Structure 1
Amino acid sequence: MADQPSDQTTDKPLLAVLRGERRDPPPVWMMRQAGRYLPEYRALRAEKGGFLDMVYDPPAAAEITLQPLRRFALDAAILFSDILIVPHALGQNLSFVAGEGPRLAPPLSGAELAEFEPAPERFELIYETVRQVKAQLSPETTFLGFAGSPWTVATYMVAGEGSREQAEARQLAYRDPGKFGAIIAAIEESTIGYLVGQADAGVDAVQLFDSWSGSLAPTEFERWVIAPTARIVAKLRALRPDLTIIGFPKGAGGKLPAYARETGVDALGLDETVDPLWAHASLPDGMPVQGNLDPLALIAGGPALEKAVRVILSALEERPHVFNLGHGIQQTTPIEHVQQLFRLLGKAV
């Protein structure tokens, strides 16, 4: 974990907590806080067109990043982008199919990485979005960048799309670990450069999303989740020592303590399936955690939401804690339930 926050971070409550300080009430942000549940996002998308078009349009992406901060007392902005920008920069064709999600072509289950023509210049538009957001953020607001972790990004690159069991990637990792390891290595290298670029453009901290880490057996988790993440963290530490890093291995469950100890991340995101009392008892003392409200409890609202918030706050009251969801906010979430959440957290609405 990083050292205690310096004087330069005390005006950013969320960044201070990620660096080991306890704040009451806890600072808050929400995964996917910039997105489809907001009517202003839907209006802008109707005007601008497809999702990828907006990601690569810095003024539009900056506006989307800032939209939720105008509605809610959030302590952080998170860059509006997508984890599949890395494979796109590696040269794999990327598109988003309405109602079906992302498509990458050709899938690496049948193609070779060497066939791709890298296009690292695609990162430059993302860096410009960061610069435009940074110029408009208040001094106390933490700015979060992100990337997908190598395992999760590889699952999309191998299959060409998302899948629940990640069978194609898991099979390739068993059948041809040399080929799969080369894919992981390419993602690592690209991700390190991408996150350094985000930091240089103005983000304060980054999150590594490993959305599909829960699909792996323990030895495979060590090889394809923990080890690549540890290499990324070590390299980022060497290149940008002040950059704070959050790890979010969704679905890791009982493997979370090993991830926390072995990757070197500063803070750990907890998904909604993790018992926060268990997390507090099992994770390294003093390690900041983030989470872990069930997004469906937020949709439910009312007494169910109040109870869920109370359980999390009580369980993590002695640990540095950033309040967040256990995964992304869903499209059907009522705005008034988000407002209720902020009232429960003692935040102005």
Structure 2
Amino acid sequence: MTDSWKPQAFSSKVITYYHAKGRKDLPWHNTKDAYRIWLSEVMLQQTQVKTVIPYYQNFLKTFPTITSLADADVDRVLHLWSGLGYYSRARNLHKAAQMVRDEFNGEFPQSQSELETLPGVGRSTAGAIAAFAYDKPTAILDGNVKRVLARCFAIEGWYGQTKVLNKLWGLSEQLTPKKETAAYNQAMMDIGAVVCKRSNPECLDCPLTQKCQARLQNRTKELPHKKPKRARPSKSVYWQLYLQGKKILLTKRPPSGIWGGLWSIPEIEIADYTPKTERKLEPILHKFSHYDLKIQPLIMKSKPNMSIMESNLTYWFSLTQPESLGLPTPVSNLLNTLKESL
């Protein structure tokens, strides 16, 4: 698969690019602190750099060490994560911090195999931590690196398929150098983010353009192959707004699934009936990565039946003096709208 490139020539081009043009000014650069590197890698999963930066800075201000994060209440962690999406990352972040505190004496493990035992740390994230914090010669394969390799070597198929992913991992491991691994890995991510972009890649600025198979075959728009399209599912629910003066009833969602562990509004699926309500509010459409959630908020006439609700999973939330709770973005937005109407 690497016939068009000798691994040493490939990595040399990439490392030269890093020293000349690589990004070195992001908040998580120029550090060997495994905690900071880990935090940035988790936040950057499926999230753009510009979105991550303020969250990253706020997290470090609130939790300057991994022990302070481990000792924190999970609701505080989820509150700081609110709006960043993919909330399982925040729950795993907290669990992993506690694991480092309790099982590794507060110090991050250095081997890739031990790093992969931490909740939410997969093969690529473990490789990044090992390379950036401990100068280990470990390969990575985040979304940017996948795109660079898929184009450069004209890898056929969607990389959500196991056989395609295995090809990309094989390439990544063959090409990752034993020396200056951190510079190489950072440059591969930078090339994917800044040069080899999803649309309108800037091939003339790419250090790999001379032998890039996608460019040579005029297939940069085609590669990497996209996920096969399917009909996008949707789900319709009522949000039942129970108001008590200037407070509203919230319920805690199950620890797994969408918005796991966050505080939300009592919800029922829309069936063949409509609950008795004072009035309907403007409907809300919230798009997840894999389906649409259609929400109809209802201000309820009746009082909630508290006898059938677990007290530790319900909370009367003040609209005028809100506390720091983990709230999904559409819930937070709706509460702000209600507050303004009081």
Give the TM interval when normalised to the shorter protein. Answer: under 0.3
Max radius of gyration: which structure?
2
Bigger RCO (CA 8 Å, 6+ sep): 1
TM-score w.r.t. length of structure 1: 0.24
Give the TM-score normalised by the residue count of structure 2.
0.24
Greater fraction helix: 1
